[in-house]
Structure formats: structure tokens, C-alpha cells
Amino acid sequence: MIPLAPFGRTGHLSTRTIFGAAAFYSATQAEADPVLDVLLAHGINHIDTAASYGEAEKRLGPWMPRQRDRFFLATKTEERTRQGARESLHRSLERLQTDHVDLFQLHNLSNPQEWEIALGPGGALEAFIEAREQGLTRFIGITGHGLNIAALHRKALERFDFDSVLLPYSYILMQNPHYAADVEALLQICRERNVAVQTIKGITRSPWHARPHTRNTWYEPLEDQADIDKAVHWVLGNPIVFLNTAADIHLLPKALDAASRFTVRPSDEEMQTLLTEQAMEPLFV
């Protein structure tokens, strides 16, 4: 089974590997439903989805009448205004067939102009606070991509006391000294404030470049179980972070299998060997 850890200050003990429901982006219900058995077999108790993940919320919805109490359920919106975020949440609740989510997140807030709108007067954050007061969400988070996101998350935590953050985190990405410094500064604040830290892109091999896309992920992932083991174990080797699984249902069993066998973080020498053998490249430059 995959170990549990406190998800920040929420009071929930989440599996350190979280099901990233972007894997259901274009899935049919017949493809999605067997995944529930995979999650339950590994004890997964936390699902992360988003309004913009294609069919994902619709595919999760039929599970909720029977399984809602089993999962810490999180969704996201890319709406930046109060009205837009309010309407987005209500649509998500309808698709998810639930009267509340545990975590509602400002999704991919990595554009500085959008950041100012969302966190300013009349912005989406006002709808989030309203939703929390109404019991439609219990907690509020923020997510993002790109090399500027760790610094933006730090700035966001100065503006509002978010319960969670989400950002890219992998061995190859952390070889960028500027990004690594920003991430470490963010993690220190999260430790001090007990803010949950979710990570994405953990099994990235490289951008797709001109190669055919053979997975639903928007990056080329590692494929071999031993390689995925190293990448997953490296992420989980940081005790403050959670790993959100990749957006491909066929990679999910490999990631969960790796997480279930985690004991120690691979050495830098092992990771450098993996980097060289797999010709790994950073997703963001």
C-alpha cells in the first residue's frame, strides 16, 4: 500500500500519490470505471481533477454516489473572475455528482496579468472564499506550470493564505539552479505554514519534439518500470510533497506500483545515470 501523510493543515491523511484525473481527458466511462478498482487496490484516497480536463469530471461523477466518503476530492477552474469561477464550480459539482469538493483550486495561474485579475477585486478568489463560506469547498488551493510558478506561488501566499499549492517538480527540472532555488524557498514557506504541496510532471522524460505522441501526456514520459521507479522515488524522497500521477491511464499502474515500493530516494549518481541513459530534457526552459 502507498503510505499516507497529512495533506497540509486540512486534517486529511492523503496517500502520497494522488490520482491525477487528467488521465480521463478523453476516456469513455467504460475505460474509466476499471481505474476505480486500481485506485482502491492501492488504497488511493485523493483525486485531483479540473473543469478543463476534458471528460474527467463526467467520468468521476458516477463513482461519487457510492464512493464520495472514500476520497478527498479536488477540482480546479481557469476562470479568473468572481462570476466565472462561481459558475464553473457549480458546473463541476453537477458533473461530479456531489454537493461539495474538499479542495477548489485556481488552475494554472502562471500568467502575471491573469494572476492580478484572479487575486484582485472582483476576481476568482472572491468566489472561492464565498464557496468556502457556503460549504461548497472546504479548502482553497492554487496551481501552475512553468519556471516562474514557484516564485508566483510565494507571492500568492503573501496575498492569501492558501491551503495548498501545486507545481512541476522532478529531478531533471530541479537541475535548473534558478528554479530549484525558487522551489526550495516556496517549500520552506509551506513547511512554516503547513501548506500542502502537490507536484506534477514527475515522470517527464522530455518534450515530445517532433516524435509521434504515444501517450495522453503533453510531455514524453518515462516508460520502463525501473525508470519510473527512480523518478517516482526521487519525488517521494522529499517528505513534504505529494506526487500527482500522469495524465495517462496506462501509465497509472506503473506509477502506483512504484509508489507502493518506495523506501528511500535514489542517489544523485543513480539519477544522473537515468538522465544520461534516457536522454532526459527539462520540460520548461
Parent domain of 198: 4-277
> What's the pLDDT at 13?
98
Model confidence pLDDT, tens digit, residues 78-129 = 999 999 999 999 999 999 999 999 999 999 999 999 999 999 999 999 999 9
* Average pLDDT of the residues in 212-226: 93
Name the residue with cell 466511462.
29
Q: Could you give phi then psi for residue 138, rounded to 5 degrees?
A: -90, -35
Q: For a pLDDT cut of 70, what percent of the chain falls above it?
A: 100
User: In whole angstroms, how far apart are CA 168 and each of 75, 139, 165, 252?
Assistant: 17, 21, 10, 18
In a domain, 282, yes or no: no
In a domain, 83, yes or no: yes
In a domain, 15, yes or no: yes
In a domain, 283, yes or no: no
> What's the pLDDT at 1?
83
* Average pLDDT of the residues in 33-57: 97
| CATH number of the domain that residue 36 is part of | 3.20.20.100
Q: How far apart are CA 130 and CA 87, in angstroms?
A: 12
User: In whole angstroms, how far apart are CA 262 and each of 39, 229, 231, 237, 252?
Assistant: 17, 8, 11, 8, 16
Which residue, 38, 12, 8, is CA-closest to 245?
38
In a domain, 285, yes or no: no
Model confidence pLDDT, tens digit, residues 91-105 = 999 999 999 999 999
> What's the pLDDT at 218?
87
- The larger pLDDT score, comparing residue 211 to residue 53, is at 53
* Average pLDDT of the residues in 56-77: 98
- Residues 6 or more apart whose CB falls under 8 angstroms from that of 121 comprise none
**0.95 exceeded by pTM:** yes
Angle at 20 between CA 34 and CA 187, to 5 degrees: 150
pLDDT grade, residue 185 (50/70/90)? very high
* Average pLDDT of the residues in 135-145: 98
In a domain, 51, yes or no: yes
In a domain, 178, yes or no: yes
Which residue, 173, 191, 185, is CA-closest to 235?
173
| Residue 148: all three cell numbers together | 516562474
Q: How many domains does the chain have?
A: 1
Residue 211 has pLDDT above 90, yes or no: no
Q: For a pLDDT cut of 90, what percent of the chain falls above it?
A: 96
